[in-house]
Amino acid sequence: MANEERARVLVSGRVQGVSFRDATRTQAEQLGLNGWVRNTEDGRVEAVFEGEPDAVRQMVEWCESGPSSADVENVSVENETPSGDPSGFEVR
């Protein structure tokens, strides 16, 4: 879809067991983004955000601090081709 961006982020630090996924979903829904968030086996949180470019950038910036209970050490971002799938946002 034109004028959409898609970013895959991996967040490391104390990000599991601190409601990071639920807070991410809430934030993404407020920004009107599609995508998903999940815990990884190595202790990180992985998420994909797709939608309006400014909203995607705001979401990536939000991940740099996350919810107040999290202690984010690093966020890696990889831009991907948008799928255009208006599926909403889910916790996996």
Q: Which of 8, 14, 38, 39 is catalytic?
A: 39
Active site residue 79: no
21 catalytic residue (yes or no) = yes
Please pick, among 21, 25, 34, 44, the residue that the annotation labels catalytic.
Answer: 21
Measured CA to CA, the distance from residue 63 to residue 65 in angstroms comes to 5
The whole-angstrom separation of Cα 36 and Cα 90 is 5
8 A C-beta contact, residue 49 and residue 28? yes
Tell me which residues are annotated as active site: 21, 39
